[in-house]
Amino acid sequence: MEREHIQCDGLAPDDEPGMPEFEDDKPREACGVFGIYGPGLDVARLAYFGLYALQHRGQESAGIAVGDGAVIRCQKGMGLVGEVFSGEDIDKLKGKVALGHVRYSTTGESAVENAQPLVFHYQHGMLALGHNGNLTNYHELSRQLAGEGAVFQTTTDSELIVSILARTTKDNLADGILKTMSLIKGAYSLVVITENRLFGIRDPLGVRPLCLGRYRQGYVLASESAALDTIGAEFIRDVEPGEVVMIDDNGVTSLRNHYPSKRALCIFEFVYFARPDSVIDGLNVQRSRGALGRELAREHPIQADLVVPVPDSATCAALAYAAETGIPFSEGLIKNRYIGRTFIRPSQALRSLGVQMKLNTVREVLNGKRVVLIDDSIVRGTTSSKIVQMIRDAGAKEVHMLVSSPPINYSCYYGIDTSRRSELIAASRNLDEILALIGADSLNYLSLEGLYAAMAPLAPDSFCVACFSGAYPIPVPEAGEVDAHACNC
């Protein structure tokens, strides 16, 4: 049973070959999770607001499940949080514990069956689960369970985790969770609710973030601390790698198996994914991005007239680069903020005639200038060459491209869509070859050392940098068995 051949969504394959290059050339975050335990609170509404703050982590589908002590009710659907829920929907989700989830979209893989939370009945009642991450032993485990007669409605890791939870739970769900953690391998930040309890679970290496906060008489879990801020909750601490927090009327109980104290937080959360206003494992994202810009300035000072970021994610690094080098900063690229999911893409013919929807240049800013163009990462390189050309067309004399992270050489198996390795521009090319494709006057990446330096005071060995180095902290499936880039959360 090959995972990539299983389809149940009624969707024909994408027949618009020009589309991917029109998208952002960025890795895609898998998911965002949110949980709240709060008897007497409007938990569904607070989950709704919390999901709004995590929307950048997934725009394909959204869902909220609520436990009221007796049953779990769930509403989910395709689209943004604001599209999936009406006020009436939220009103119907009464309860004391809630779980919210947002999931991202890649063409052809989106289907409402895969939307989360997953809600299910098992021998001890009902459970709902939301997952951010990716298992690396999915195939092994799913073959084993299927051989024992298990059936699956999706091919997601998440449904597999549910089946394992049901089999490992005897009398006590917390025990079942710990047993499940000993079976599953990979990256996972999970929020689980029963009819009256909330659980937060982070994998032994802590690849994906998950934090805990207090809100009035209750508690909150979220992928990022910005979601706590949004509802006015107070940050308590990150959930620790390998930790299970159980929240109920007795407050917060921490449970854990014994694991080595190794950590492997995804460094890309700081480079690109997470909100600037979030703090992950003690480090503020915006500060880390400023440090990336400063490291870049130290490693690659350029003689130039102007620093221009690729909006929006590189702005912070570019500001710091400009401040450090003394080169003026300006927003020379303007992004159209209305390009959304339902956008009618221009045909290749129209694009070649100049239709360019997403970015526009400011000629008055760029004309005659030697420009340092800063981006946070390059994945396939499909848009970089277009942006460089746009900036030249606006009159720039030189375009020097700087990237505030190292070259992406390896696919991610831990919950990020970084494309297949064969599509990664840096996987099989040296710097000169990439420069030739990009068409800039010069191209430089931040070094891995510079990246680590920017993460201070977090130590280098706190991070997973496999996409840059190939040093996978968790064994990955052999080639052929799984598409590394598949989002299975």
Active site residues: 31
Nearest distance, CB of residue 350 and a copy of itself, angstroms: 7
Asked whether 215 and 232 are in contact (CB, 8 A), the reply is yes
Nearest distance, CB of residue 422 and a copy of itself, angstroms: 24
Per-residue b or e along 394-429, where b marks 16 or more CB atoms closer than 10 Å to that residue's CB: bebebbbbbbbbbbbbbbbbbbbbbbebeebbbbeb
Q: Which is nearer to a copy of itself, 218 or 406 (CB)?
A: 218
Name residue 190's beta-bridge partners: 131, 201
Q: Which is nearer to a copy of itself, 230 or 419 (CB)?
A: 230
Q: Which is nearer to a copy of itself, 10 or 260 (CB)?
A: 10
Q: Which is nearer to a copy of itself, 8 or 459 (CB)?
A: 8
Nearest to 448 by CA among 430, 464, 436: 464
User: For 272, which DSSP code?
Assistant: I
Instruction: Report the alpha-carbon distance of residue 320 to residue 343 in Å, rounded.
Output: 34
Bond from prior residue into 117 cis (ω within 30 degrees of 0)? yes
Count other C-beta atoms under 10 Å from residue 86's C-beta: 11
Residue 323 tokens read as 């401040």
Residue 438 CB contacts under 8 Å (≥ 6 apart), including other chains = 378, 381, 384, 385, 388, 401
Nearest distance, CB of residue 455 and a copy of itself, angstroms: 14
Q: Which is nearer to a copy of itself, 232 or 368 (CB)?
A: 232
Nearest distance, CB of residue 154 and a copy of itself, angstroms: 8
Residue 14 CB contacts under 8 Å (≥ 6 apart), including other chains = 107, 108
Nearest distance, CB of residue 456 and a copy of itself, angstroms: 14
